[in-house]
């Protein structure tokens, strides 16, 4: 089963994503800050990570760097409330596979997006 790590300090978003992805057949683990996410990443294996940018403790950018250093094949989809071109560009350069602006156009298309990214070549 495809396993996804969802990281967002906004619990509501994490919950929604968890439910939407489960419904679509993913196995979902939720973390609510960067440190927690790091613990899951060290322990378990995931097919993709969907992570918010701005978080307490350890932010998305720092976790992204850790992933790039330790798990170069893991696909990371970044979420950001700063949906501007500049932020997107920067995150893609830092190794994100995709950047999704918050609020989402339609949350229901996210499982499809993740699937597409997992299948894509690095």
Partner 1 sequence: MASTGRIAHLGDSPPDWLAGVEPYSEDTPVEVLVVEEKRLSPQLLRRWEKTHVPPALVILHTDRFKYWRYLADRRMLLPPITLPQGASRTQAEKAISRALELHRSHKRLMALRGHHNRSWNFESDPALRLITDLVHDCTKAESVQDLLRAIESLRGVIEYQDATAVICDRKGNLITQLPNSFLDAGTNFSLPDEGVTLLRPGDPGAEPLHQITDEPWSAAIVTTLKLATTPQRKSTPFYAHFVLFRRDLFPFSDKDLWLLELAFGPLSLAWEKVVMLQAISRASKEWRATFDAITQPVTVINENFEIIKANTAFASLIGKNIKQIKGRRCHALLAGRRTPCPQCPAAKGSNLVFGARITGRNKKELLAWSYGIHLENERYNFQFYRDVSEESALASALIQSEKMAALGKLVSAIAHEINNPLAGILATSQLLLADAGALSEAAREDLDEIRQAATRSKKIIADLLGFTGDSAAESTDIDVRAAIQAALTFSKSALQYIRVHTDIPEKLPSRPGKSGQLQQILFNLITNAAHAMGEKGDLYLSAEALDGGKAKITIRDTGPGIPAARLATIFDPFHTSKAEGKGTGLGLSIVRNLVVRLGGQIRVESPAGQGTSFHIIL
Closer Cβ to partner 1, 68 or 115, answer by number: 115
| 121 part of the interface to partner 1, by CB under 8 A | no
| 40 part of the interface to partner 1, by CB under 8 A | no
Q: How many residues bind partner 1 (CB under 8 A)?
A: 24
Contacts with partner 1, 58-97, as mask; x by CB under 8 A: ---------------------x-xxxxxx--x--------
Largest CA distance in the chain: 35
Up-side HSE of residue 49: CA atoms within 13 Å toward CB? 32
Closer Cβ to partner 1, 5 or 110, answer by number: 110
User: According to CB under 8 A, which one of 16, 30, 35, 58 is a site residue for partner 1?
Assistant: 16
Residues that bind partner 1 (CB under 8 A): 10, 12-13, 15-17, 19-20, 23, 52, 79, 81-86, 89, 102-104, 106-108
């Amino acid at each position: 089963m495809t396993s996804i790590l969802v990281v967002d300090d906004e619990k509501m978003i994490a919950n929604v994503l968890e439910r939407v992805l489960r419904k679509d057949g993913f196995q979902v683990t939720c973390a609510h800050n960067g440190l927690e996410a790091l613990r899951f990443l060290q322990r378990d294996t995931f097919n993709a990570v969907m992570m918010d940018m701005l978080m307490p403790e350890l932010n998305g950018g720092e976790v992204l760097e850790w992933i790039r250093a330790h798990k170069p094949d893991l696909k990371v989809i970044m979420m950001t409330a700063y949906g501007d071109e500049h932020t997107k560009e920067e995150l893609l350069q830092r190794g994100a596979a995709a950047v999704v602006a918050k609020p989402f156009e339609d949350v229901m298309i996210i499982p499809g997006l993740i699937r597409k990214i997992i299948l894509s070549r690095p």
